[in-house]
Chain A
Amino acid sequence: MKRKVTSVLLALGLAGTAAACGGGGGGSSEAAAQAKGPITVWYSNNAEEVAWAKQMVASWNSAHADQKVTGQEIPTGKSSEEVIGAAITAGNAPCLIFNTSPASVSQFQKQGGLVALDSFSDGKSYIEERSGKVAQQYKSTDGKYYQLPWKANPVMIFYNKKAFAKAGIDTAKPPLSTYDEFLATSRKVVAAGGAKYAIYPAPSNEFFQSWFDFYPLFAAETGGKQLIADGKSQFASEEGKKVAAFWRTLYAEKLASQEKYNGDSFVDGKAAMAIVGPWAIATYKGKVQWGAVPVPTSEGKPAAETYTFSDAKNVAMYSACKNRGTAWDVLKFATSKEQDGKFLQATGQMPLRDGVSTAYPEYFAKNPDYKAFADQAARTVEVPNVPNSITIWQTFRDAWSKSVIFGQQDPAAALDGAVQKVDQLASGS
Chain B
Amino acid sequence: MSFHDYFFAAPGAIVDRPWVGFANYATVLSDPAVRRSFVNVGIFLLINVPLTVVLSLLLAWSLNAAIRWRGFFRVSYYVPYVTASVAVVGVWLFLFNSDGLVNSVLGPLAPDPSWLVNSKLAMPTVAIYVTWKQLGFFILLYLAALQNVSKDLYEAASMDGAGRWKSFRNVTVPGVRPATTLVVLLATVTGANLFTEPYLLTGGGGPDGASASPVLIMYQRGIEQGNPDVGSAIGVLLVIGVLILALIQRRLLDRES
Chains A and B bind each other = yes
Chain A positions near chain B (C-beta within 8 angstroms): 21, 23-28, 79, 81-82, 85, 88-91, 93, 107, 110-113, 196, 202-207, 257-260, 262, 319-320, 388, 390-391, 394, 398, 401-402, 405-406, 408
Q: Assess whether B65 is interfacial by the CB under 8 Å rule.
A: no
Query: B75-127: which residues lie under 8 A (CB-CB) from chain A?
Result: 90, 93-94, 97-99, 113-114, 116-117, 119
Q: Assess whether B10 is interfacial by the CB under 8 Å rule.
A: yes
Which residues of the other chain, B, contact A23 by a CB distance below 8 angstroms?
Answer: 9, 11, 15
Give the docked Cα–Cα distance between A21 and B11 (Å). Answer: 11
Given the known A-B contacts A258-B207, A259-B97, A398-B33, are A25 and B114 also in contact in the complex, defined by CB atoms under 8 Å?
no
A205/B206 in contact, CB under 8 A: yes
B208/A401 in contact, CB under 8 A: yes
Which of A91, A203, A205, A259 is the one whose CB lies under 8 Å from B11? Answer: A91
B12/A26 in contact, CB under 8 A: yes
Q: Interface segment, B130-138, B181-189, B221-229?
A: B221-229
Which residues of the other chain, B, contact A202 by a CB distance below 8 angstroms?
Answer: 203
Which of A82, A112, A196, A406 is the one whose CB lies under 8 Å from B207? Answer: A406
Q: Assess whether B193 is interfacial by the CB under 8 Å rule.
A: no
The smallest beta-carbon distance between B46 and chain A, in angstroms, is: 24
A112/B224 in contact, CB under 8 A: no
A111/B226 in contact, CB under 8 A: yes
Q: How many A-B contacts are there with CB distance less than 8 Å?
A: 116
Instruction: Name the CB-closest residue of A to B226.
Output: A107
Chain B positions near chain A (C-beta within 8 angstroms): 1, 7-15, 33, 90, 93-94, 97-99, 113-114, 116-117, 119, 202-209, 220, 223-227
B223/A260 in contact, CB under 8 A: no
Give the docked Cα–Cα distance between A107 and B9 (Å). Answer: 10
- 9 of the cross-chain contacts (CB-CB < 8 Å) are A24-B11, A25-B12, A111-B8, A204-B206, A205-B204, A260-B206, A320-B11, A402-B208, A405-B207
Instruction: Name the CB-closest residue of B to A257.
Output: B98
Shortest beta-carbon contacts, A-B, top 7: A112-B13, A204-B203, A24-B11, A205-B204, A26-B12, A91-B11, A27-B12
Which of A85, A110, A260, A390 is the one whose CB lies under 8 Å from B203? Answer: A260
B94/A25 in contact, CB under 8 A: no
Which of B7, B119, B206 is the one whose CB lies under 8 Å from A111? Answer: B7
The smallest beta-carbon distance between A140 and chain B, in angstroms, is: 15
Which residues of the other chain, A, contact B13 by a CB distance below 8 angstroms?
Answer: 111-113, 319
Give the docked Cα–Cα distance between A259 and B94 (Å). Answer: 11
B10/A112 in contact, CB under 8 A: yes
Which residues of the other chain, A, contact B33 by a CB distance below 8 angstroms?
Answer: 398
Which residues of the other chain, B, contact A259 by a CB distance below 8 angstroms?
Answer: 97-98, 114, 116-117
Instruction: Name the CB-closest residue of B to A207.
Output: B224
